Structure 1
Amino acid sequence: MTDTAVLPVTDAPATVPAALEARAVSAWFGGHQVLSRVSLTMPAGRVTALIGPSGCGKSTFLRTLNRMHELIPGAAFGGEVLFEGEDVYAPERRLTDARRRIGMVFQKPNPFPAMSIYDNVVAGLKLTGVRASRREKDELVEESLTRAGLWKEVRDRLRRPGGALSGGQQQRLCIARALAVRPRVLLMDEPCSALDPTSTRRVEETIQDLRDQITIVIVTHNMQQAARVSDQCAFFLAEQGTPGGIVEHGPTEQMFNSPADERTADYVAGRFG
């Protein structure tokens, strides 16, 4: 048996959003525990923002959701991550399934600089073991770049290096690459932190355009961004050397305007962090 899959190319919607649920997730690096029993439901077709000061475990939590945490030497995990009710960490679940269904966009744009724009988009197919014909790849490149809000800007230079694009365009190219394997969830780890305001706005517009097509979980330190793009927020905090955890979570408007915990109110108001 192999992990190779065949890419379905149809006129149907590219993806159907999926729900994610973390149950009592804990994480360690060696002997250091960075998360303790974090539980959170991330509804299908919604944007969930993970907010909180640096070092509280937001990015670690994000990486546990598609098993990226396992790539770090000495890392350990406890708990469950349910994708449509099935634990992605169950022994019978393949790692490639998790990565194909739950895509990732990192903080710094990381296109393959020597590869063309076209080849960058389809690179994800090889990495996740998906087969596609040339026609299917052509259709997929256009579809993915369109969904990432980049097609009109690059359609006449698909064979030029992806590394020649601007920073904001490179990040949208990385989003297109992640979308090419048709994940049902997209994880975004501070995707705008290295971008200028104009590029940030374009990425945020892309998130808004994708929100009905895919479930998005985004880590951000920008409270205005969290308020603009998310449907719900989870506030993480690690106090006095304790592992990170969620203080409070709920609809974004409620979290910003009438949070239940004073620490949440202080953080979103900029009084610490």
Structure 2
Amino acid sequence: MTSVLPVVPTAPDAETAELPAIIGGSVLESDEVSAWFGSHKVLAGISLKMEAGQVTALIGPSGCGKSTFLRILNRMHELVPSASLAGRVLLDDDDIYEPVRRITDTRKRIGMVFQKPNPFPAMSIAENVTAGLKLTGTRVRGGERTALIEECLTKAGLWKEVKDRLNSPGGALSGGQQQRLCIARSLAVRPDVLLMDEPCSALDPTSTRRIEETIHELRREVTIVIVTHNMQQAARVSQTCAFFLAEQGTPGVIVEAGETKKIFSTPEDPRTADYVEGRFG
């Protein structure tokens, strides 16, 4: 069965583009993860391995638990008073939910970029980049701080656009620039994993292309997990893909996961084929 979705050439092809050797990143794995809000079960038995040096795309219709799963991966789920979960989340084989592990340490290693850009409007561009260092108690000296700001903005594809106005408010940037600033802020604490919850949904095509190019470059250094409703984007940026589905009020499950090329060209489950070919969702 062949997908009818075209692969739009707005970013390097995730399957074929040449990429330098992996520098960093960690293996992130969920083991039989289930989740509830109060008595309402929203996820059931989610097991998924997210490899270092790869982009894993989470796809599926709205309401199937993709964003909830993403928040479980860096312990944001537990911020909801009624939330609970079962199962394990392993970062390089260590369970991030073990009682001895501090939440701040987990979020330092597993960063998050949200759907809506959220720079700190009262802070300058430079201050936004280093904001996470204060939260994690990381100290950097003046010269190191300057170099870190340039490094992170460069990795986020923003340095050339803002290098002459680092003291300007971060909130004055365009939407696409703000999203890349948020990526730079996440990178400043040296995460092993970067989670992205529909990072391009509110952006124009040009900004989307820049974000996708940034994702392509970053996977050399961090493991990336992205939630997207854009099937063409999933095909462009990811190497592996997991299709989530919640049917008739049942909790969300993974119907099928594997290499992105296979998921889009020869899926094993007819529900996967129906979704990626646009027959529902």
**Same-fold call, TM cutoff 0.5:** yes
Contact 1:15 1:184 in 2 (8 A): no
Report how many aligned residue pairs link the two structures: 261
Q: Which has the higher contact order (CA 8 A, sep 6+)?
A: 2
Structure 2 residues not aligned, in runs of 5+: 1-20
Q: Which 4+ stretches in 1 moved above 2 angstroms?
A: none
Aligned to 2:154: 146
Corresponding residue to 2:46 among 7, 22, 38: 38
Alignment of 1:39-118 (within 5 A): 39-118=47-126
The equivalent residue for 1:224 is 232
The alignment yields a C-alpha RMSD, in angstroms, of 1.2
Residue 210 of structure 2 aligns to a residue in which SS?
helix
Q: 2:138 aligns with which of 126, 130, 136?
A: 130
Aligned pairs (5 A) from 1:249-260: 249-260=257-268
TM-score w.r.t. the length of structure 2 is 0.91
**Cα offset, 1:180, TM superposition:** 0.4
The CA deviation string for residues 63-120 of structure 1, in whole angstroms up to 9 with x for no partner, is 0001011111211111100000000001111111110000000000000011100000
Q: Is the 8 A contact 2:31 2:45 kept in 1?
A: yes
* Separation (CA, whole Å) in 1 of partners of 2:99 and 2:155: 34
Amino acid at match of 2:139: R
Q: 1:56 offset after TM fit, Å?
A: 0.1
The residue type paired with residue 214 of structure 1 is V
Q: CA 1:156–1:145 in structure 2 vs 1: closer, same or farther (change >3 Å)?
A: same
- 8 A Cα contact 2:111 2:191, kept in partner: yes
2-structure distance, mates of 1:113, 1:196:
21
How much identity, in percent, do the aligned residues show?
A: 72
Give TM-score scaled by structure 1 length: 0.94
Measure, in 2, the Cα distance between the counterparts of 1:129 and 1:14: 28
Indicate conservation of the 8 Å contact 2:23/2:220, yes or no. no
2: CA distance, partners of 1:235 / 1:184: 24
5+ unaligned residues in a row in structure 1: which ranges?
1-12
Aligned position for 1:17: 25
For residues 172 and 58 of structure 1, the distance between their equivalents in structure 2, rounded to whole angstroms, comes to: 22
Q: How does 1:150-189 map to 2 (within 5 A)?
A: 150-189=158-197
